[in-house]
Amino acid sequence: MPRFRVPEITVERLSIYLRALKKFPEEKVLSSQELAELVGTTDAQVRKDITYFGEFGIPGQGYHVGKLKEEITHILALDREWELALVGVGKLGTALLAYPGFKKKEFRIRAIFDNDPKKIGIRIEGLIVRSVEKISETLSRYGIKIGIITTPAEAAQDVADRLVRGGVKGILNFAPVRIIVPEKVKLKNVDLSMELETLSYFLSEGTSTGSHNF
């Protein structure tokens, strides 16, 4: 494990490197410049990112694809299997259950929950929908450490509390609301409309609307 705290943005880029590396044969050697082009950054950034975790380049040549893939996989803790719980099997929840990235062997959705009596007991993508009342006991029993919230905003905090009581260490929250969790739980908010708002800002850059003068 690295000696110091690694910025979240670097961790995210490692994930992008890994994706890019998977397209090359194991035995190939890529320069930091080639890696940079693949992920859309600079070669200085590539070298900086990688040295966060130690030195495993080949001096004067670059990085061995197989070795680098293996290292990044290990750093991201993707050489183990994470079991997940998903709460809220509405449209977004159902879409995520079918999402290719959530069907990899390292992330396996093991239990799904909803509060709609009409949904409880039915099977979606091979999993039976359980009542939200059962979240804590199911998670404790299976040792599930990651929860995904895809409920409407008003249900999200209650669900988060249940996930925490069930012992999760990380939560991916898709509900369009801020939720509060204990400090020991890592929370990632994925707000799909915030992505649009950021885009809106950058699209309007330089197109003065005339009403502002600071």
Is 82 or 133 the residue whose CB approaches a second copy more closely?
82
Name the token pair of 116.
Answer: 């709609």
Neighbours of 179 (CB within 10 A): 19
CB of 36 within 8 A of CB of 43? yes
Name the token pair of 102.
Answer: 């959530």
Separation of CA 63 from chain center: 25
Taking the C-alpha atoms of residue 194 and residue 196, their distance in angstroms, rounded to an integer, is 5
Beta bridge partners of 188: 172
At CA 137, angle to CA 146 and CA 97, rounded to 5? 40
- Find all residues with CB under 8 Å of 70, minimum gap 6, and list them: none
Is 133 or 177 the residue whose CB approaches a second copy more closely?
177
Of the candidate residues 25, 27, 60, 91, the single one contacting a second copy (CB under 8 A): 91
Beta bridge partners of 64: 29
3-state secondary structure of 77: coil
Size of the site for a second copy (CB under 8 A): 74
In the region spanning residues 29 to 88, those forming contacts with a second copy, defined by CB under 8 A, are 38-40, 53-55, 74-78, 80, 82, 84
Is 121 or 152 the residue whose CB approaches a second copy more closely?
152
* 24-32, 60-68, 98-106, 116-124 -> range binding a second copy (CB under 8 A): 98-106
* 100-108, 110-118, 134-142, 156-164 -> range binding a second copy (CB under 8 A): 100-108
Of the candidate residues 99, 121, 122, 128, the single one contacting a second copy (CB under 8 A): 99
Of the candidate residues 58, 95, 122, 128, the single one contacting a second copy (CB under 8 A): 95
Is 11 or 128 the residue whose CB approaches a second copy more closely?
11
Residue 60 DSSP code: T
In the region spanning residues 125 to 164, those forming contacts with a second copy, defined by CB under 8 A, are 145-146, 152-153
Is 28 or 169 the residue whose CB approaches a second copy more closely?
169
- Find all residues with CB under 8 Å of 36, minimum gap 6, and list them: 42, 43, 45, 46
For residues 171 to 210, the per-residue mask of contacts with a second copy, x marking binding by CB under 8 A and - elsewhere, is -x---x-x-------x-x-xxxxxxxxxxxxxxxxxxxx-
Least gap, CB of 11 to a second copy (angstroms): 5
Of the candidate residues 30, 36, 87, 96, the single one contacting a second copy (CB under 8 A): 96
